[in-house]
A = this chain, B = another copy of it.
């Protein structure tokens, strides 16, 4: 996922290209595949656009997540976001609890489940490993 690709995707849906939205995308691009919370985006973007409020941040984050430009997870009570990685198929992540950086995990536990879930409707699942990355150790 890169910025131009994301902007075009939004354009097709009738969403506009704005400086703030573009900057948000840049911030994620600079982030090197790490999960970051809304407040980090706000702090960063306010260096260029002092007037930006949380409204703008959250509206864009949720829009981008809806469009699968971003993916999100909840870490210690805060929603965190990152670029959606579509380089390989569906997968999960190791997440560094110090810096938010991730490492792709090659397998999905759903593929290995032999247990019957008959009578249950499965909608979603979550698998994450938490710890410290080499850089933070």
Q: Which residues of A come within 8 Å of B, CB atoms?
A: 74, 77, 79, 94, 97, 103, 105-107, 109-110, 112-115, 117, 119-134, 137
Contact = CB atoms under 8 A, between A and B. Distances in A.
Given A109-B109, A127-B126, A117 B132 contact: no
A127 B117 CA distance: 16
Given A77-B79, A79-B77, A113 B123 contact: no
Contact of A112 (B109, B121, B128, B130): B109
B109 A94 contact: no
Contact of A132 (B97, B114, B123, B126): B123
Contact of A74 (B74, B107, B112, B127): B74
A112 to B, nearest CB: 5
Contacts of A134: 119-120
Number of copies: 2
A109 B127 contact: yes
23 contacts: A74-B77, A77-B77, A97-B123, A103-B120, A105-B115, A106-B115, A107-B109, A107-B115, A109-B127, A110-B129, A117-B131, A119-B133, A119-B137, A120-B131, A120-B137, A121-B131, A122-B131, A123-B132, A124-B129, A125-B127, A125-B129, A125-B130, A126-B126
